[in-house]
């Protein structure tokens, strides 16, 4: 996986691209499947072994479905050189994962900025909630337009 695209956790029902190693191969039931060797095959995740291993229900270019078990799920940036068949996330899914991660990082920065130490009297709260009684009184006085005592 590269530093730019986050790990996408597979879940049952997600759609991935299946890439067979050969243009002719057999599924788990022994059926012969023909593949053009260029376009990926659509596949539905039907079982998750781990973040990198799934079982698939694959649909070939003619619309026939067949099972393939224990397929390596490649994350963005990982090498496929030494793999037989494998599955990968579609570009849209990788883009959505990157956008989600960027939003989460932005929220974390805002939360960090909001969590800075309070400068109120006898305070030091970092959670924005647990202020000292003196700090709360100082704040109420400032909001009411009077000087704190």
- Say whether both 75 and 103 belong to one domain: no
Question: Quick one: tokens of 144?
Answer: 């009411």
> What is the value of pTM for the model shown?
0.62
Structural domain includes residue 94: no
Say what the pLDDT of residue 13 is: 95
Give me the number of domains the chain comprises.
2
Q: What is the mean pLDDT of each run of 10 residues along the chain (149 residues)?
A: 70 94 75 79 96 94 89 89 89 79 74 64 68 79 68
74, 83 in Cβ contact below 8 A?
A: yes
Domain of residue 32 covers 15-89
Say what the pLDDT of residue 138 is: 81
Say what the pLDDT of residue 1 is: 46
Say what the pLDDT of residue 126 is: 64
CA distances from 142 to 28, 115, 120, 126, 134 (A): 73, 21, 11, 20, 12
Say what the pLDDT of residue 4 is: 57
């Amino acid at each position: 996986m590269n530093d730019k695209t986050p790990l996408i956790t597979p879940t049952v029902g997600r759609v991935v691209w299946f890439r067979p190693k050969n243009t002719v191969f057999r599924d788990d039931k022994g059926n012969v499947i023909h593949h053009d060797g260029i376009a990926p095959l659509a596949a539905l995740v039907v079982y998750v072994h781990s973040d990198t291993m799934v079982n698939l229900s694959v649909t070939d270019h003619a619309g026939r479905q067949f099972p393939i078990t224990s397929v390596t799920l490649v994350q963005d940036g990982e090498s496929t050189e030494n793999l037989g068949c494998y599955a990968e996330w579609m570009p849209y899914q990788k883009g959505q994962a990157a956008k989600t991660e960027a939003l989460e990082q932005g929220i974390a920065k805002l939360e960090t900025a909001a969590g800075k130490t309070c400068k109120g009297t006898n305070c030091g709260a970092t959670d924005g909630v647990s202020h000292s009684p003196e700090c709360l009184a100082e704040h109420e006085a400032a909001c009411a337009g009077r000087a704190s005592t």
